[in-house]
Structure 1
Amino acid sequence: MSFVFQAGDYPERPGCYLMKDDTGKILYVGKSKNLCSRLRSYFHQNHAHKKTKPWVEHIAAIEVVLVNNEAESLLLENNLIKIHKPPYNRALKRDNSGYAYLQLTDERFPRLDVCYRERRSTARATLRESTPGTASGIPRKRLGPFKSARFRNAMLEFAADHYGLRTCKTMPKQACLLYHINKCSGVCEGKISEEEYRERAQQAASLLENSGRQLIQAMTAKMENYSAALEFEKAANMLRHIQILEHLSDKQIVDRDGDYDQDVLYFQDSHVMIAKVQEGMLRDFELVELDQGRDAMAYDNFLLSRYQTDTPDELIVNTIGDAKRVHDSLRRRATRKIKITQPKRGLKYDLLQLCKSNYEYRINARSM
């Protein structure tokens, strides 16, 4: 075996690993809440099992991507497998497998349904054109992804129970049992008007624009509004669903719903770590050595050189020298509007911190 595993080279942290052969081809993608322990098992235990022996013997390098928690490692692994389709990953290759979203259907009377996002970069324009609204004129907001089917099903129950959205794929002519147990509005039989049903669907869509803790906060605000209006039954119903979702939720930043692309750049000394985020989905980390120094001007020059023609919608950076000069120069060359952000808090700051963690790990690994 040409590859020699050294346990000290790998962190005891959650993340994903990409096993490659001597040509750089990705053989296998995996995840773990403890990368060092998981990788050790391939080399310090009997790996003669028929499922692992064919590819463990061909490993020439292992690339590691660090994340914040186990939920992120699960979601990132799912995405990386679908993007790269490694030959020795049998599960999660199909686009309709793995972790799903919820989205309002494109119907006259929309309902929440399970959907899977398109992960091919070539599908970007198609995706943007296909998701602006529904036949009812309500924006098609997606919620997710859900590593937990229980959480996803709890959201479906919430939409049906609180807003009365239908769950049937084909609308019946008469109200079914769900209407009689207050799990549906009975719009099929005209128990509420089409206008009122659309209003309820719009309220659900507005709430689903939030995600993670923001969703819980939005639901809590809605509950307080119900209480202030003396609608105590609705407030109690909302509280019950908040308690269910709080118990099941996990914070994650590696797979979010979005319709634009971002590059996250963490500059430090003579290198920059670049994280590519396509429509909310983290796809790749790349460590690049700078060849023009290690100060603010060198960082600005790198941005101007790297993004001469092909630019994402937004650059998220930890430092920049002359933001106006860089923005104006890129804007003149780019075919689309570009935004440069230097966040101090929030989701974009969290992405920068994840970029920093991966930067520090790879720099330290090089010095060993």
Structure 2
Amino acid sequence: MPTTLDLQVKTLPNSPGVYQYFDKNDIVIYVGKAKDLKKRVSSYFTKNHEQGKTRILVKKIVRIEHVVVDTETDALLLENNLIKKYQPRYNVLLKDDKSYPWICIKKERFPRIFSTRRVIKDGSEYFGPFTNVKTVSSLLGLIKELYPLRTCNYDLQEVKINADKYKVCLEYHLGNCKGACEGLQSEENYTKDIKAIRNILKGNFKESLAIFSQMMHDFAVEMKFEEAQKIKDKLDSLKHYQAKSTIVNPAINNVDVFSITSDESHGYANFFKIMNGAIVQSYTTEIKKKLEESDKELLELFIVETRRRFTSLSREIYVPFAVDLGNDVKVIVPKLGDKKRIVDLSLRNAKYYRQEQFKQIKIVDPERHVSRIMAQMQKDLRLHKEPRHIECFDNSNIQGSNPVAACVVFRDGKPSKKEYRHFNIKTVEGPDDFASMEEVVYRRYKRLLEEEKPLPQLIVIDGGKGQLSSSLKSLDALGLRGKIAIIGIAKRLEEIYYPEDSVPLYLDKKSETLKIIQYLRNEAHRFGITFHRNKRSKAAIQSELEQIPSIGKQTITNLLRTFKSVKRVKAASLEELKAVVNHARAQKIYQYYHKE
């Protein structure tokens, strides 16, 4: 007999809408939207989900509620509202914007213009919110420079002005106000300035530039050069501000631009508001993933919430890939030209923000930084587990002399130098890298198994398919094939090779995964070369002493232990040599170095 949950799923309509999942405590744990409610909800219970978090979510679902809507746009808006209302555990939650500043044009006679963090529904106009306080200060500074406005909070009713209730203040004498409080500026003249300011706040500089240019020309014709110079200074200020804001094409007007980049745990989204070819608003934020959401899902959520937050009424948006936002908004994915450059600029901002976050997290939350890198490596290298413990092997020999190998160990992406190990090749004669690699891999993991020490999650072999195949023989002999992931890295093009796969993997040259693997490989090479160089030096020292007749290895060891170097042995007196070895050997060593 089907359960209540089964019946709820089977009786869902094939219509667009929003669904809510409830747990045993009747708490909303997830809210989602769908073009087809029945098809979407059924997929949760019929698919084998790869992500562990999704499997846990499905196990906790006890009851389902749904709301049918007319369009996809309605579904998007309702989903967003329900997420904000219930804040479900398994939904992505975007940060609130309560602390962002706005620029207010107050609804009053002779309106004041000021910055505020409180939006009061009293008929006043609000522009923003602005994500950068410096932008607000810069805009207000420009406005003050261009248009003298009152800053007092007097109630400038006509009857009070006519009754001489107010007197001009210091701002009037400094030239920052035209004295509306004493009737020295008409309401019509003041309103004309407010109209120009409103256009600037919307990113429309054209009208103000034209007015100032005409004023400057008129003053010049009338030979009023000081006044003309003042207007020219204002014109230059406005052009400078416009130049900083304009990006590519002034013809692009009233458009929203969105982009996103992401890693395993977070998304980083950017929003631009474009008016007359200028960025009048910019906003970038971090979005924490809850159920391994795709970039498309995160971007759709970000677009809906950001347009609501910034009260955007733009009918056109530019995005880097197609998104489903219904029919109320025209979605454009630019391929060429100025529109494409705007989207690229937005994406670049998102990537810069991501890098800044990484730097901060590395300092304030090292564990999250490590977890992110490990999750990224697991994804990039197609591993079953995070490679918290990695070991890398490298061979070193010159024309077959003194063959050695090195094993370096990384934990959480960093070298663990106390665990580095050297190997003298014992069973291989001559320069045979494949056989040498097979020997050291076998010896390393045979010992770890015997000592019951933990095995690594990943083995990196410095070399291509040949060295990788040799290493696999050792893992097979120890019964470790499939229990430890193993890859080979070839030097020429940094190809990553996998067992029994002739096609290599090429990682992005800038990826953190490749940088860590290169670091591993370079450390193994450095460690192996150092050991090999020391061994060759020692061999050269011993070979000189071995030239002396009747001097064996033990005698050489005793001499070097006492005198530390061949040079000191050579300089030693006969009596000093006799104190270390017997009389006959001391005589032979001394005569060898003092033949004259």
- Taking structure 2 as the reference length, what is the TM-score of the superposition? 0.29
Q: TM-score of the superposition, structure 1-length normalised?
A: 0.43
> Which of the pair has the greater relative contact order for Cα pairs under 8 Å at 6+ separation?
1
The structure with the largest helix share of the pair is 2
